Amino acid sequence: MLKKHREPFIQPVYDPLLKNVELHVKREDVIHPYISGNKWYKLKYNVQEARRLGYDTLLTFGGAYSNHIHATSMAAKEAGLRSIGIIRGEELENKPLNKTLAFARQQGMQFEFIDRSAYREKNTNEFQQFLRQRFGQFYLVPEGGTNNLAVTGCMEIVNEEARRYDFVCCSVGTGGTVAGLIKGMQGMGHVLGFAALKGDFLKDEVKKLLQNHGGTAPTNWDIITHYHFGGYAKKDLELQEFMEAFELAHSIPLDPIYTGKLLYGLFDLAQKGFFPRGSRVLAVHSGGLQGK
């Protein structure tokens, strides 16, 4: 139902800083101008399921700059569904919409701005009841789009070619994407998730996602937690400078929240000798360039 505008491709990154590591980037950012990278794969089966169950509305959650909100508004529109975004921050209600939200509104998304403490309760039964009373029937897509169907969708990022790499890497927010990569690798190679936030809890989160998804519990993966640059959406001059140099040298756009931290981490690990000599490493570009 969601259509790709372009097929992803694998781009080599030749850089002396990588020492003896062969790095390639899987350009999933190019597959759709608005539902880019992992968002497309996470939403694909959720949109199908919503339609199959007869819903006419998607409801989801996110912050004011959320890639997921941005992408969901377009995915709903393309699938002929209405969309509702529950947005963190009641103070935003009376302010002009930022670029992300203005885009989502243009696609027809209806907003409900809620304060941060209510937002933290979003997964409780009481809050879900409140939402049903207020909005009627809807298909719920969790924050970040991560659920079982998202994991199934993200498995498709991994193809035969990807399974031939020693390491397949991606950025991690809620864990759905990396869980999909782990399943998609079918026990081959090693999957590394780079936490975009202070993510000591993420390993357990990914374990849960894998368990819920069923099948065997793969062990060929890890979450790297020391490239968060102070936390979610935090950055510093070093990251900024790295991204500028990388973009200039390799013509691959990065964002500071997810893919910038992933590539910074990969370069740093390569220089520190983390990867065995001659390792072939595939970094998945998960898109998210709307927030730049």
Which span (4-12, 98-106, 245-253, 283-291) binds ligand PLP, by CB under 6 A? 283-291
CB under 8 Å to 123, separation ≥6 — which residues? 142
Residues 55-84 that bind ligand PLP (CB under 6 A): 67-68
Paired sense of beta strands 280-285 and 167-172, if any:
parallel
Is 172 a binder of ligand PLP (CB under 6 A)?
yes
Residues 145-164 that bind ligand PLP (CB under 6 A): 146
Is 38 a binder of ligand PLP (CB under 6 A)?
yes
Closest to ligand PLP by CB, 46 or 286: 286
- Beta-carbon count within 10 A of 228 CB: 18
Closest to ligand PLP by CB, 37 or 85: 37
Sheet holding 139-140, edge to edge: 110-114, 82-88, 57-62, 139-140
Which span (74-82, 168-176, 208-216, 223-231) binds ligand PLP, by CB under 6 A? 168-176
Residue-wise over 267-287: b if at least 16 C-beta within 10 A, else e? bebbeeeebeeebebbbbbbb
Is 177 a binder of ligand PLP (CB under 6 A)?
yes
Tokens 């997810």, located at residue: 258
Closest to ligand PLP by CB, 136 or 266: 266
For the chain, counts of helices (H) and of strands (E): 10, 10
Out of 8, 85, 153, 175, name the contact with ligand PLP by CB under 6 A.
175
Q: Which residue is nearest to ligand PLP (CB)?
A: 288
Paired sense of beta strands 10-13 and 190-195, if any:
unpaired
Residues in the site for ligand PLP, rule: CB under 6 A?
37-38, 67-68, 144, 146, 171-178, 258, 286-288
